[in-house]
């Protein structure tokens, strides 16, 4: 079948009553994982052990680029004046005393940021790494050089963990009320930096304005939720005749958070605020592909006047992860990322007796029944499949058409073809670029393989052209039909704007397909029948189920309940304060006079 091409020109809003539904779902924030099997230059470590992998990694002295300045670079644009200045051993806080600015959409003509050298934050001090191995961060839209990230040395990792270990006891003695008040102040600090966060997400990740704005809102929600921890955190109490029994929830100690590129603000704040409120200290290892957002987050934490060492940031890829996991003082590890990396982090942490939780890849199914509301369902499917360029673990990446609903795919193609692919700074863009050129190559290779295996490419996003951005990592919305469960495009997480479609005759067959898939992040049933909905939600073996709504990463107090290969750890869905504390039971009997 001849591939259908879609326009990258802006399409005005139609009078269709479901357009708003599409846009709302398209720009929702969903937790995602990094792309697996990305090529990179070896740097004397296994390239698959980091939370993410970089395409460009080489010794510092060997890099020669006309875009690479000799002096220490810095952000100098108006929106980015909040970025840390590259001065060694200086606190972030004195450099950020600008008055609050309203958040506004950057224009396509906004000045490009000047490249920066990313620094570690250890014991409330900024330091430029002494590493001989650095990673280049490129603009996913233009391939311009944005930043240089170090593969932190062993001494730097040890210094960060030592600072955290030293600070934790006194931080715990402050009491939960004072620790909570500090996190409430973090909400104000993030809001004050919102324009800088917005621009960093759009330039460094390629997010659309709506995606970036929504991520910031959900990040704030995560902090506020942590500040409203339930009363159970204070323990339980029983009286049994003369015996008194009570429980204490005490901090684990030093906690490590390893986070992906696709939600570099929201995902770290899933774990860091609650870990700190529980009395732990934290070392964050953010993605080497998104250093600017973590630098801004460090600035926000510095403004809180926390004791030195309570919150630290170390940068790097595989080497930094391995060194962190090898530190005996680390008690708990929280990881969100790709499946391969997550398995290695889990095995390493368990081998060294650390508490660990790993949230990794997904292959989320949408089951479409004939009694569903056609138009609304198709817009919801398109929004979930192609929003955030498909770079989220909760994207609806598989459509199971039951019975005659396979005939609806032509209308779905029309909807997907109307989405505008473009630069994140373009306020009309619906689908931005993939994070790296290697990610683009991988997604296109998956489409090639699907075609070679006999699937039909109904809508082809390969070789999409975006005017003004010939080097961008763009892949347009892609719809593949005639897919069989044995095909690679179905078996593996693609992590791009690609929807694969299967056909079955009955709901029972659809449930069987979902249950046989090894991933368990989420699934959705589109129907108007409560009977079908009840049967689906009871029989399907997936941790998060949606009825007529593609499942988002839970926000606020709702626990994330992924299962099967999408989660590794003790108990999926446990409250985060339970993960970051250990329970002690005390029994007392006081002698009578």
- 120-122 and 125-127 as β-strands: parallel, antiparallel, unpaired? antiparallel
Between CA 335 and CA 246, with CA 558 as vertex, the angle to 5 degrees is 85
- 145-150 and 133-138 as β-strands: parallel, antiparallel, unpaired? antiparallel
- 330-336 and 145-150 as β-strands: parallel, antiparallel, unpaired? unpaired
Catalytic residue among 300, 393, 489, 523: 393
CA distance 284 to 171: 17
Longest dimension (CA), the chain: 93
Token digits of residue 258: 């390893």
Work out the end-to-end distance of the chain between its first and last CA atoms, rounded to an integer number of angstroms.
92
How crowded is residue 406: how many other Cβ atoms within 10 Å of its Cβ? Answer: 18
> What string of H, E and C letters represents the secondary structure of 442-467?
HHHHHHHHHHHCCCEEEECCCCCCCC
Question: Cβ(198)–Cβ(213) under 8 Å?
Answer: yes
CA distance 380 to 526: 10
Q: Is 352 exposed, middle or buried (0-12, 13-18, 19+ CB in 10 A)?
A: middle
CA distance 87 to 326: 30
Sign of CA dihedral 333, 336, 337, 340: positive
Token digits of residue 270: 């899933």
CA distances 553 to 20, 210, 393, 443, Å, are 21, 17, 9, 23
- 243-251 and 237-240 as β-strands: parallel, antiparallel, unpaired? antiparallel
Q: Is 547 exposed, middle or buried (0-12, 13-18, 19+ CB in 10 A)?
A: middle
501 is catalytic: no
CA distance 504 to 514: 12
How crowded is residue 571: how many other Cβ atoms within 10 Å of its Cβ? Answer: 12
Q: Which residues are catalytic?
A: 393
């Amino acid at each position: 079948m001849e591939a259908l091409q879609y326009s990258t020109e802006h399409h005005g809003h139609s009078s269709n009553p479901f357009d708003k539904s599409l846009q709302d779902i398209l720009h929702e924030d969903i937790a995602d994982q990094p792309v697996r099997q990305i090529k990179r230059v070896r740097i004397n470590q296994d390239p698959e052990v980091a939370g993410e992998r970089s395409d460009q990694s080489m010794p510092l002295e060997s890099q020669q680029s006309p875009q690479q300045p000799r002096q220490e670079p810095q952000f100098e644009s108006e929106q980015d004046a909040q970025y840390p200045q590259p001065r060694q051993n200086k606190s972030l806080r004195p450099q950020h005393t600008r008055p609050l600015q309203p958040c506004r959409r950057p224009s396509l003509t906004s000045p490009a940021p000047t490249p920066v050298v990313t620094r570690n934050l250890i014991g409330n001090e900024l330091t430029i790494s002494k590493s001989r191995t650095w990673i280049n961060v490129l603009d996913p839209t233009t391939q311009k050089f944005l930043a240089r990230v170090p593969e932190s040395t062993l001494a730097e990792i040890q210094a960060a963990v030592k600072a955290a270990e030293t600070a934790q006891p006194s931080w715990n003695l402050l009491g939960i009320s004072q620790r909570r008040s500090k996190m409430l102040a973090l909400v104000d600090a993030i809001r004050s930096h919102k324009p800088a966060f917005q621009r960093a997400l759009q330039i460094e990740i390629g997010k659309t304005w709506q995606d970036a704005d929504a991520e910031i809102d959900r990040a704030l929600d995560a902090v506020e939720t942590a500040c409203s921890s339930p009363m159970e955190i204070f323990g339980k109490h029983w009286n049994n005749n003369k015996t008194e029994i009570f429980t204490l929830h005490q901090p684990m100690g030093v906690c490590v958070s390893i986070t992906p590129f696709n939600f570099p603000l929201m995902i770290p704040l899933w774990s860091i605020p609650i870990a700190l409120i529980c009395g732990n200290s934290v070392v964050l290892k953010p993605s080497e592909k998104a250093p600017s957002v973590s630098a801004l987050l460090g600035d926000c934490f510095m403004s809180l006047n926390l004791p030195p060492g309570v919150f630290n940031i170390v940068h790097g890829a595989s080497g930094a992860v391995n060194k962190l996991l090898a530190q005996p003082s680390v008690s708990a590890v929280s990881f969100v990322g790709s499946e391969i990396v997550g398995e290695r982090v889990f095995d390493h942490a368990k081998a060294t007796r650390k508490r660990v939780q790993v949230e990794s890849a997904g292959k989320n199914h949408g089951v479409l029944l004939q009694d569903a509301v056609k138009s609304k369902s198709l817009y919801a499917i398109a929004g979930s499949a192609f929003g955030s360029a498909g770079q989220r673990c909760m994207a609806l990446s598989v459509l199971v058409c039951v019975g005659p609903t396979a005939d609806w795919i032509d209308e779905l193609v029309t909807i997907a073809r109307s989405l505008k692919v473009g630069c994140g700074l373009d306020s009309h863009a619906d689908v931005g670029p993939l994070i790296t050129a290697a990610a683009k190559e991988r997604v296109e290779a998956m489409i090639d393989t699907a075609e070679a295996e006999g699937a039909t490419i109904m809508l082809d996003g390969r070789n999409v052209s975006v005017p003004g951005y010939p080097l961008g990592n763009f892949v347009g919305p892609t719809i593949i039909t005639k897919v069989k469960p044995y095909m690679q495009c179905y078996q593996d997480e693609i992590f791009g704007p690609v929807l694969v479609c299967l056909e079955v005759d009955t709901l029972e067959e659809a449930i069987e397909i979902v249950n046989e898939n090894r991933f368990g992040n989420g699934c959705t049933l589109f129907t108007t029948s409560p009977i079908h909905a009840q049967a689906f939600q009871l029989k399907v073996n997936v941790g998060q189920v949606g009825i007529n709504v593609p499942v988002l990463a839970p926000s606020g107090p709702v626990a994330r309940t992924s299962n099967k290969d999408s989660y590794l750890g003790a108990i999926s869905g446990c409250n985060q304060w339970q993960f970051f504390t250990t329970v002690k039971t005390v029994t007392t009997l006081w002698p009578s006079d």
